[in-house]
Amino acid sequence: MKTKEWLIEKTLLLMALSAVAMLALIAIFVFIEGTPIMAREGLGHFLLGRKWAPTKGSFGIFPMIVGSVWVTIGALVIAGPLGLACAVFLVEIAPRKVADIVRPAIQLLAGIPSVVYGFVGIVVLVPLIREHLGGPGLSVLAASIILGVMVLPTVISISQDALEAVPRTYKEGALALGCTHWQAITRVILPAARPGITVAIVLGLGRAIGETMAVIMVVGNAVKVPAGLLDPARTLTSNIALEMAYAGGDHREALFATGVVLFMFIMLLNSLAALRFGRRRPSP
Amino acid sequence: MAGSTSIQPIAELLADRYMAQHAGPAVEVQGGGSSAGIRAALSGAAEIGMSSRQLKPEETGLKEYLMARDAIALIVHPGNPVRSLTKEQVRGIFSGRVQRWEAVGGRSGAITFITREEGSGTRGAFEELVMGKETEIAPDGIVQDSTGAARAIVATDPDAIAYISLGMVTPEVAAIALDGVQPTHESATDGTYALTRPFLLLTKGEPTPKARAFLDFVVTPESQATIAEEGYIPVKPAGRGSGA
Amino acid sequence: MPEAQLPKLRARNLNLYYKAFHALSDVTLDILPQTITAIIGPSGCGKSTLLRTFNRMNDLVPGARVEGEVTLDGEDIFAPTMSLVRLRRRVGMVFQRPNPFPLSVRDNVLFGPRAHGITPRDRLQEILEASLKGAGLWADVRDRLDEPALDLSIGAQQQLCIARLLAVEPEVILLDEPCSALDPYSTLHIEELMRQLSETYTVLIVTHNMQQAARASDRSVFMLLGELVEEGPTEQVFTMPRDERTEQYITGRFG
Ligand SMILES: Nc1ncnc2c1ncn2[C@@H]1O[C@H](COP(=O)(O)OP(=O)(O)OP(=O)(O)O)[C@@H](O)[C@H]1O
Ligand SMILES: [Mg+2]
């Protein structure tokens, strides 16, 4: 009995450790491959340089940093409110039957491969933007919308969990004070679910920053700091994915360095989220 | 084998097929560029060199085997009235100097040009054949990483222009003439269409038996069909679907 | 209690169904103003259901259906013209488990008034102080108004819930086993509080605790299997029950 438990415990520990080790190895590898060129080029030049001509010795990824930030924020502006509204609707407003149909449908949305999103983007969304708003259509806006839709399931389902975890008694308490349903939602349920909703947003953000395939197809990939939503841009991930296949030497290192920057971004995001959570934990 | 990065992907594909069918030593494919391929063949560093350009007069002592031709077509939306451009105009467009269609005899509108990612063989060919040493493709152009995506955009955007392999042109887009020559199988084969280049395999003197076997494999109808599927122009009539 | 007093709440032939389940059958009952009425009975007999009918909290339960009549000061609470918001402001409720919102003490008390559109600062401050005093909590929390309500002891949390209710100035206060989660000391505290409140408000309390009903209420209602068995002055119900089942329950022979 004792030995069996011991064995199980150690096995689990080993598995957990190996997962961590694997992640650490990937991180170390990316750093080893990516940092030398940053050192050679100078971190400032690398991060703030605006010219990216990797086969001709120019390695400035500033346009990609800006592109990533824009596209990610754009996706969030779309997926945040929409996802939260959807979650509130499903948990609080929709009749049971409707919710039971919509929920799996949203999960389905999460299962669609990103190429499909990208393709729909190119064939439907991009022409729409081009015709009605101007510009080449391939743009920050197109990428934000596609990404927004892609992270929607994440935002919805985690917000949903957060809303459902709010004790029913809060809502009853508010209603018993003569609040309307809407007041109960905005004044009690949403504030009580805020930590969970923040998690939803952060996870959505992480997914948005990391998504590549669909973005490559609709963002235009122009190496240029976008001047507006209708301009094409290139993101850090699309930069790597676009060029990695053929890259060698300095070019390849510069792409790894792009990965390092991406890595830092995500770390920053997660620590920000962790900080926010650390602040206050609701007691039962 | 080593050399042209344009040939590398198709050579790798064929090498995999070859190794699957034949026992014996592995066929290794490396890049490096056409000049490096020629040097490697001359020095014997590679049994087969790969070059996607004609040999220069001073590059002698090598036997050439034509495995395929690569032709690049410029494509526009079928509704675009512009059906012919000069090489100079194309260079202007892709370098960012010419930004409007009316400047090249079209309807009024801003040109959206679509290029391929750095390192792509098609981009390499385009840079070599159109842009030349002096001019660069403008960095702020739209970049797509596949022929399919580039084609899909041109198919929906009346103001877009892109370059893709001739074998990949479909009726949703219109291939336009360059310097008055329409890109076709024939014009690409007989050399009147300018945006074409040979895919050459090179050996120093007579090929080794191992190299010989692979060179023979490359011109089998199946291999040539594969070449056509990948968007290149086969040099031998292929078994099926050879008309690309 | 003067007999001539008009009832505050009045139920006539009230039936309630949870889908097919008949949870209240034919309940007819008058609740007098400024009185503490205790509802007693074994578990599952419909005490909470009855209580929750008076502020229509049962509307939240899918499949719940009501027949019969309930009036508040003679006004039909199921009438289409009756606003739920107004009804619940007039008939407030305290739950079995204290359920303060995860906000500060202050924001809990002022939750109702703010939701109802009261904004002047000094008016809110007045309400805050009066309500906390009314709930007997002012002295304890006057220096901790901005601390999280969830940090209070469980007894103080329940008092806070009462303060939160007083802040919307209800006429009737419904308490559903308000002391079941509390220690004996806090329980006594709440009972005293109820006594004070009954000078102004109409108080209804559901309780499992016979002593509590006996010592803290003016009138008692005994329920069994969804039926109202007996209703009368507490002393009479506990010492000379008219119904045999009441006697059995009170003397602890079932329940
Ligand atoms: N939402 C509901 N759906 C279906 N049945 C319910 C619901 N709520 C209560 N009931 C049933 O109605 C009956 C009365 O319930 P109620 O909660 O009013 O009892 P109670 O007297 O308050 O019991 P307790 O003393 O345990 O609190 C019980 O049999 C219960 O199972
Ligand atoms: Mg109950």
Contact A173 C88 (CB under 8 A): no
Domain count, chain A: 1
Q: What is the CATH number of the domain that holds A164?
A: 1.10.3720.10
Q: What CA–CA distance (Å, rounded) separates A171 from A165?
A: 12
Residue A55: its pLDDT value, please? 77
Nearest CB neighbour to B153, from listed A138, A222, A245: A138
Q: Render each residue's pLDDT in chain B as its tens digit; 244 residues.
A: 888 877 888 888 899 999 988 887 888 888 777 888 888 888 888 899 998 888 888 888 888 899 998 888 999 999 999 999 999 999 999 999 999 999 998 889 899 999 988 777 788 888 888 888 888 888 888 998 888 888 989 999 999 999 988 888 889 999 999 999 999 888 888 888 988 888 899 998 888 888 888 999 998 998 988 888 888 888 865 444 333 3
Closest residue in A to B140 (Cα) is A222
Residue A280 has pLDDT above 70, yes or no: no
Decide: B141 and B153 in contact? Cβ < 8 Å: no
Please say whether the beta carbons of C234 and C217 come within 8 A. yes
Closest chain A residue to B139 measured between Cα atoms? A223
| B199, B232 Cβ separation under 8 angstroms | yes
Domains of chain C by residue range: 3-97+170-250
Contact assessment for residue B69 and residue B189, using Cβ atoms and an 8 Å cutoff: yes
Distance of CA C44 to the CA centre of its chain: 17
pLDDT by residue (tens digit) across C186-220?
A: 888 888 888 888 888 999 999 888 888 888 899 99
* Binding partners of B (≥3 Cβ pairs within 8 A): A
Query: How far apart are the C-alpha atoms of A135 and A229, rounded to whole Å?
Result: 10
The pLDDT score that the predictor gives to residue B70 is: 85
Q: Do B152 and A53 touch (CB under 8 A)?
A: no
C88 and A96 within 8 Å at the Cβ level: the answer is no
Domain that residue A244 falls in: 52-280
Residue B241 confidence (pLDDT): 37
Max alpha carbon distance in chain A (Å)? 71
Q: How many CB pairs under 8 A join A and B?
A: 76
Contact residues, chain C, for A170 at CB < 8 Å? 99, 101-102
Mean pLDDT, 10 residues at a time, chain C of 255 residues: 70 91 90 91 90 90 89 88 89 90 92 90 92 87 90 90 91 89 82 87 89 88 90 88 86 65
Nearest CA to A232 out of C213, B112, B38 is that of B112
By the 8 A CB rule, do C32 and C171 touch? no
Given ligand 1 and candidates C14, C16, C45, C96, which is best to mutate, with the most ligand atoms within 8 Å of its CB?
C45
- CATH pick for B71-190 out of 3.40.50.10240, 3.40.190.10, 3.40.50.11540, 3.30.470.20: 3.40.190.10
Inter-chain touch B118–A138, beta carbons under 8 Å: no
Is it the case that residue A145 has pLDDT exceeding 90?
yes
Q: How much is the pLDDT for A81?
A: 94
Nearest alpha-carbon partner for A80 in A235, A200, A192: A200
The one-letter code for the residue type at C117 is G
Task: State residue B72 phi and psi, 5-degree precision.
Answer: -110, 130
Please give the number of the atom of ligand 1 that sits closest to the Cα of C18. Answer: 4
Structure-block tokens of residue C154: 């469980």
> HEC states along chain C?
CCCCCCCCEEEEEEEEEECCEEEEEEEEEEECCCCEEEEECCCCCCHHHHHHHHCCHHHHCCCEEEEEEEEECCEECCCCCCCHHHHHHHEEEECCCCCCCCCEHHHHHCHHHHHCCCCCHHHHHHHHHHHHHHCCCHHHHCCCCCCEHHHCCHHHHHHHHHHHHHCCCCCEEEEECCCCCCCHHHHHHHHHHHHHHCCCCEEEEECCCHHHHHHHCCEEEEEECCEEEEEEEHHHHHHCCCCHHHHHHHCCCCC
* C92 at A interface, C-beta within 8 A: yes
What residue ranges do the domains of chain B occupy? Answer: 2-69+197-243, 71-190
Superfamily per CATH, domain C3-97+170-250: P-loop containing nucleotide triphosphate hydrolases (3.40.50.300)
User: Of C43, C49, C55, which is best to mutate to test ligand 1, by the most ligand atoms within 8 angstroms of its C-beta?
Assistant: C49
| DSSP sequence for A8-23 | HHHHHHHHHHHHHHHH
Residue A233 identity: A
Average confidence score pLDDT of chain A = 88
Please give the Cα distance from A240 to B119 (Å, whole number).
12
The whole-angstrom distance between A218's CA and the closest CA on chain B is 9
Mean pLDDT, range A125-146, rounded to an integer:
92
In a domain, A144, yes or no: yes
Nearest to A235 by CA among A139, A152, A155, A129: A139
CA C96 / ligand 2 centre spacing (Å): 8
Which residues touch A32 (CB under 8 Å, ≥6 apart)? none
In the predicted structure, residue A277 carries a pLDDT above the cut 80 = no
Q: Is the CB of residue C165 less than 8 Å away from at least one CB of chain A?
A: yes
CA gap C86, C200 in Å, rounded: 19
Q: Determine which of A177, A181, A182, A194 to mutate to test the interface with C (most C C-beta atoms within 10 Å).
A: A177
Atom of ligand 1 nearest to the CA of C46: 18
Which residues contact ligand 1 via a Cβ below 6 A? C 18, 21, 23, 41, 43-49, 61
With 0-12 / 13-18 / 19 or more C-beta atoms within 10 angstroms meaning exposed / middle / buried, residue A94 is middle
| pLDDT given at position A141 | 95
Ligand nearest to the CA of C39: 1
Q: Is B220 helix (H, G, I), strand (E, B) or coil?
A: coil
CA dihedral A102, A106, A109, A111 (to 10 degrees): -120
- Counting Cα atoms < 13 Å in the Cβ hemisphere of B36 gives 12
Nearest CA to ligand 1 atom 2: C18
Q: What is the CATH number of domain B2-69+197-243?
A: 3.40.190.10
Alpha-carbon distance A134 to nearest alpha carbon in chain B (angstroms): 10
- Residue C254's pLDDT is what? 57
Check residue B238 and give its pLDDT.
43
Instruction: Give the confidence band of A193 by pLDDT, cuts at 50, 70, 90.
Output: very high
The residue whose CB lies within 8 Å of the most ligand 1 atoms, and thus the one to mutate among C48, C52, C93, C208, is C48
Question: Ligand 2: distance of its center to the CA of C47 in Å?
Answer: 6
What is the structure's pLDDT at B237? 56
Residue in A56, A127, A222 nearest the CB of B143: A222
The reply to whether B2-69+197-243 and B71-190 are identical in fold is yes
